[in-house]
Amino acid sequence: MRLEGPGGSEAWLIGWPPGTGTGWHDHADSVGAFLTASGELKENSLAARLPTDGWRTLELSDGVDRERRLSSGQGRAFGRHHVHEVLNESPERHAISVHAYYPPLPQIRRYSRSGPILRLEQVERPEDWQ
């Protein structure tokens, strides 16, 4: 569920059935934060600044992978062009999270990953989520 927030921000309430995830993506020029409201989520992210445009395939350096587990009540903030995936790895328990972005998401870039190779697959715009 997408909600308009104060000061030109937006918030999302997301339900995570067991075994679901976002896949690798970024939020373009938006900064953001999310909080696990119920259950536990895992975030895999890249500790690397990627070029913002002009590439389709990129070989990642060693040591860029980060993993974070966020139990109920825990959250994290992130900057522009933060590449990550969020997962509910529980086989039986749902999770719920709240996400906030500023400015509202102009686009989401979706990636596939095979070992060190990150490939831009798709660019989604707000009209795609309506």
Instruction: Give residue limits of the domains in the chain.
Output: 2-118
| Range in 12-16, 27-31, 54-58, 119-123 the model is least confident about | 54-58
Q: What's the whole-model pTM score?
A: 0.91
Residue 57 has pLDDT above 90, yes or no: yes
Nearest to 80 by CA among 58, 100, 52: 52
Query: Do 82 and 27 meet the contact criterion of CB atoms below 8 Å apart?
Result: yes
* Calpha distance 20→6 (Å, rounded): 29
Give the CATH superfamily of 2-118.
Jelly Rolls (2.60.120.10)
Average pLDDT of the segment spanning 62-70: 96
Using pLDDT thresholds of 50, 70 and 90, give the confidence band for residue 3.
confident
